Amino acid sequence: MSKKKILFVVSDFYHNGAQREMYEFDNALDKDKFKVTILSLADLNLRLDLPDYFYERHLSLGTEILFLKDFIRKSKNRLESRILNRILRNVTNNKLKKNNIKNLVTLFDNFDKVIFMGEYVYQSLSNNIPSDYFKEIFIFIMCSRFQSESYRDFDKKKQFVFIGGFDSAKQIEHEFEGFSNYRFEFMPFCLAVTNEYNKWQFNETCKTKKIGIFTRLHKDKPLDPFLYAYQVLLSQGYNIELHVFGVGDYKHAEYDRYVNNLDLNGKVYFRGHQSDMKKTILEEKLDLVWFQGYNNLPAGFAALEVCLTGTPQIFWDFFIGDNEHINKLDFIYPHYKDLLAFVEASKAVLYNYKIAESLSDKQFQDIFNNRNVFKNVGNIEKILLE
């Protein structure tokens, strides 16, 4: 049987969640069935603060990698390092645009299926693809509406196949409001699971408790509920440190106004990008991790990594809508919208051995049993074989 030739279109190879998902699928896909090629919108080595972590890893899997710069002609007055979707959006030369369309169509014609890893990735190229080229447009959803409506600012009348982790009809209806012709395929975040990092232990002797947050520092990644909760904990006299790990400038992300308004200057530690998150969690001996959630599920790959260490997590729910399981600590992934309830749950995990151990075990077992990419990749292979 001849292999299906699949082109995945990605934004870049940075050490972020969408890039991690691409690598996990590339690693797990049956290479006897699929020949995988990746087209990157961005070139390599554009950011000194964030390495192209997954580039060499894809090459080691035998994956061919292409770069959009070799297919898109740019006007000379534009900086090579500028984010590519801005470049494409602002191209005004009709001749250049016609050449771009022709080059992309010629490239796409070599593949059985083209998959866009992120709605913003499709958005970046949408004006350079003939409107009738795709019968169905396949997109892995990487963002939720609470982050930004602009990610899905493209023609909503076309036929789409959206792939993502939204797990309820109400949630899906909310996320794709305005799209008139689509189907949704469920695929939760998955990764290669292992037991070797499951080493977290409840700390009964240390007087200072440590809470960690892992996120890219950007205004699309809201931190305000967590900073409010931390201020409440400090005001109640608890000896707790808050460490925020992730690439970016907290002032550029506009977090400084919360830090200043809540008198948290010097009390929140912004620690920068971590090349090995699981190792950092264990070395730092974090007692609890706060993370963004969405309708009772973790809203990112970082939360899965945390679970593999056994470190307990609780979540602020950014889903806009009813959630019957909100503000309860007895679920696998406790989600909160009430600030004081979130604070009380945090204290329970930090200072109650049984609660912390129970949450640690439930979260690790859920990831170990249900989020193994090698068990779930068949769902994606089925879509790619259509």
Q: What is the pLDDT of residues 24-36, one digit of tens each?
A: 999 999 999 999 9
Classify residue 200: in a domain, yes or no.
no
Structure tokens at 199: 């080493």
Q: What is the pLDDT of residues 148-199, one digit of tens each?
A: 888 888 999 999 999 998 888 888 998 999 999 999 999 988 999 999 999 9
pTM for the structure as a whole: 0.82
Is the same domain home to 183 and 230?
A: no
Inform me whether the pLDDT recorded for 83 exceeds 80. no
Inform me whether the pLDDT recorded for 74 exceeds 70. no
Is the same domain home to 266 and 171?
A: no
**Is the pLDDT higher at 43 or at 86?**
43
Q: What is the pLDDT of residues 227-278, one digit of tens each?
A: 999 999 999 999 999 999 998 899 999 999 999 999 999 999 999 988 889 9
Is the same domain home to 187 and 217?
A: no
Is the same domain home to 183 and 55?
A: yes
Q: What DSSP string describes 190-254?
A: -B---STT------SS-SSEEEEEE---STTS--HHHHHHHHHHHHTT--EEEEEE-SS-TTTTT
Cβ count near 141 (within 10 Å): 21
Is the same domain home to 20 and 125?
A: yes
Cα separation, 237 vs 93, in Å, equals 62
Percent of the chain with pLDDT over 70: 93
Q: What is the pLDDT of residues 212-241, one digit of tens each?
A: 999 989 888 889 999 999 999 999 999 999
Cα separation, 17 vs 215, in Å, equals 10
Residue 345 is part of which domain span?
A: 209-370
Q: How do strand 34-40 and strand 64-67 relate by DSSP bridges?
A: parallel
With left for phi above 0 and alpha for psi between -120 and 50, is residue 327 left, alpha or beta?
A: left
Inform me whether the pLDDT recorded for 379 exceeds 80. yes
Please compute, for residue 375, the number of CA atoms within 13 A of its CA located in the half-sphere on the CB side: 12
CB-based contacts of 201, cutoff 8 Å, min separation 6 = none
Is the same domain home to 24 and 145?
A: yes
Cα separation, 33 vs 378, in Å, equals 12
Is the same domain home to 97 and 188?
A: yes
The predicted structure's pLDDT at residue 96: 52
Is the same domain home to 268 and 155?
A: no
Cα separation, 89 vs 81, in Å, equals 15
Centroid of chain to Cα 302: 8
